[in-house]
Amino acid sequence: MVRIRVARPEEAAALTELVLRSKAHWGYGREFLERCAPELRIDAHEVGPRRVVVAEEGRSAPVGVASLEGDGARGTLGLLFVEPAAIGRGVGRALYRHAVARARELGMRRLVVDADPHAAGFYRALGAEESGGRNGLVRFEVELAPPAAWVGAWTGGRAAVHLGNVAEFNAQFGDASLDREQRAAHHYACLAAFYSPRPAALVLPRPVPAEWLDLLGRQLGWADVEVYDGLAGRGGPGLSAVVRGREALAERLTGLGLPLVPWGHTEEFARLAGLPWRAEALRYESKAEAHALFERIAAAGGHPGIVVPGQWRARTRWAAARLLAGRARAGQDTVLKSEHGVGGSGTTVVTARDVREAGGARAVLRRLPRGPLLVEEYVAGPGPDGVRDLTYDGFVDGSGRVHEVGVALMDVAGTGYRGATTGPGVVPSWAEKPMLAFGEAVGRELAAAGHRGWFDVDFVADGAGGLAPTEANLRLTGPSVAFMAGARLDEVRGGTHLVRVIDRVELGARLPGAQLAELFEATAYGCAELGAVFLPAIPTAAFARAPWIGVVVAARTPEALDAAADLVRSKARAVGEGLRE
């Protein structure tokens, strides 16, 4: 492990020698080094004013040195050198990220780096943006925007314990459209890595590859994340109950004094975390209850552009058939929904033509999962700019205050969620303002009902630019992963990132663990070459019978983001094709 500490004046001479050895590593001759020596020297009286720090590994002598110089809004990374024998072990990355964090603490808004050409690739990979050069050096600049207000409020600015209880959350609703064995839910529990910007521990139902977390740690600047995986068996108790049943583990997780963050709240999680439990607090996870809430808020006024679609509860299949048949005769398309389906499960669009071609409404319904149905008016779109599926994310803190996180553009095929994109300019202004206002209003109602934690409100844009709220989710979601990853990348890399969650990337062949790790490393390298970041989000599904992975990509421009997404898919296809040959 690399540890950063403040340098001492009496170390100045030894640190100067380290700097010169590091510079010489790139093949520079004695004469050149002698000319550079005055600029590279660290004098004892300068150690404090130049904010010199050193990197250590264990109790060894310093293996790296860096300085952060300047005052006001603009700082300079004056030095960053690593002992040649320690290059490649993460020392330079640790020093750089320490300098970025310290500069932000000091109120600096821009950090300038004049880098040796041999180190240019290192700074590019860490997110610094090239801005020219002078005297044979390559100049980089790093924007240091303050974090969004919600970041500090979510977990109090601290690391957190993340509990991947996706299956446990889904099971409490018993929705007929959900997989009874919760196979997919256990894979999606890997998203626990992104339940906050900085995990201290992950608790997971299935075993995960160690290489997966190592790559995430390097990309996101995590250190010493504890992992407790393989805790849930098929058909067994929920993850929170398993943890509670292991006394030493429960004491360890709750004794860290850090927030416990689940995918969603359950009675068992409340017992584990020592929180009050009210099942009523989740009432608006129901699509029918959420719809009624949307109607009340819209009827109260103040939300122009929000159009709530009609919805009717069909208590029997006969009642659903009559409603569907009547709408089809009128030439109207319909959305059929189960009460608590997730990610598009249990939601089906049925056109008037579908009903005719199937031979009637009853024939259509026989193809759907059993259980009560909601019959909803279909909203024809897309809206302006081709925008169709959108979402608002926010959360309610422990005191009942609503915090706005932001809005995202979702990728939905039919009714199935495939991913989301967040970042500046992703959602057009005509949609952003009404979404933020309506999402805030929903959040206040959720808080009044007792909900504490993350929530979202999904919208569909119609052809006239209206926004139809379609459901609320009282838990973490795919878009929330993008917000968390973006917040962390902004912190450790500077600037502001566009982030895209790709829910499923098909592999075409099951991969051995070693080959999956190679795929991840090669993809991360390729994305870095494009100026993007690759974060594997769901690795365990690569070992499923029909293998796939979930991923996150991030970049600062739409072009780089699209290129990275294309690269991820092409790498996945190539591996599958290679195994079949």
The reported pLDDT for the residue numbered 370 is 74
Per-residue pLDDT of the chain (581 residues; tens, 9 = 90+): 889 999 999 999 999 999 999 999 999 988 999 998 999 999 999 999 999 999 999 888 999 999 999 999 999 999 999 999 999 999 999 999 999 999 999 999 999 999 999 999 999 999 999 998 777 899 999 999 888 999 999 999 899 999 999 999 998 987 766 666 567 899 999 999 999 999 999 999 999 999 999 999 999 999 889 999 999 866 567 999 999 999 999 999 999 999 999 999 999 999 999 999 999 999 999 999 999 999 999 999 999 999 999 999 998 888 999 999 999 999 999 999 998 888 777 889 999 999 999 999 999 988 876 777 899 999 998 999 999 999 999 999 999 999 999 999 999 998 889 999 999 999 999 999 999 999 999 999 999 999 999 999 999 999 999 999 999 999 999 999 999 999 999 999 999 999 999 999 999 888 888 899 999 999 999 999 999 999 999 999 998 888 999 999 999 999 999 999 999 999 998 886 655 54
The reported pLDDT for the residue numbered 556 is 94
Tokens, residue 153: 């409020």
User: If we measure between CA atoms, which residue out of 550, 468, 556, 555 comes closest to residue 506?
Assistant: 550
416-422 vs 402-413, strand pairing mode:
antiparallel
Q: Is 450 helix (H, G, I), strand (E, B) or coil?
A: coil
The reported pLDDT for the residue numbered 510 is 85
The reported pLDDT for the residue numbered 306 is 97
The reported pLDDT for the residue numbered 553 is 98
Instruction: Name the CA radius of gyration of the chain, rounded.
Output: 26
Distance of CA 549 to the CA centre of its chain: 15
Instruction: Kindly list the domain boundaries of the chain, sorted by start residue.
Output: 2-143, 149-277, 282-307+381-473, 311-377
* Phi, then psi, of 348 in degrees rounded to 5: -135, 135
The reported pLDDT for the residue numbered 513 is 85
CA 164, CA 189: separation in Å to the nearest integer? 5
| Side-chain-side CA neighbours of residue 344 (13 Å) | 15
> From 1.20.1250.20, 3.30.70.3040, 3.30.470.20, 3.90.1170.50, which CATH number describes the 282-307+381-473 domain?
3.30.470.20
The reported pLDDT for the residue numbered 180 is 61
Query: Which distant-in-sequence residues (6+ apart) come within 8 Å of 38 by Cβ?
Result: none
Q: Report how far apart the first and last C-alpha atoms of the chain are (Å, whole number).
A: 42
260 and 160 in contact (C-beta within 8 Å)? Answer: yes
* β strands within 383-518, DSSP E: 389-396, 402-413, 416-422, 453-461, 467-473, 498-506
* β strands within 7-125, DSSP E: 52-57, 64-69, 74-82, 110-115
- Characterize 86-108 residue by residue with b for buried, 16 or more Cβ atoms within 10 angstroms of its Cβ, and e for exposed: beebbbbbbbbbbbbbbbbeeeb
> From 3.40.50, 3.30.1490, 3.10.350, 1.10.3470, which CATH number describes the 311-377 domain?
3.30.1490
Beta bridge partners of 455: 394
Q: Is 159 helix (H, G, I), strand (E, B) or coil?
A: coil
CA 83, CA 58: separation in Å to the nearest integer? 15
CA 404, CA 230: separation in Å to the nearest integer? 34
Tokens, residue 42: 């660290």
Cβ neighbours around 437 below 10 Å, total: 16
User: If we measure between CA atoms, which residue out of 53, 2, 371, 5 comes closest to residue 222?
Assistant: 2
Tokens, residue 332: 């109207």
Query: Which distant-in-sequence residues (6+ apart) come within 8 Å of 522 by Cβ?
Result: 571
Strand order in the sheet with 548-555: 467-473, 453-461, 389-396, 402-413, 416-422, 498-506, 548-555, 533-538
> From 3.40.630.30, 1.20.120.1200, 3.40.50.80, 3.20.20.100, which CATH number describes the 2-143 domain?
3.40.630.30
The reported pLDDT for the residue numbered 177 is 65
Query: What pTM did the predictor assign?
Result: 0.93
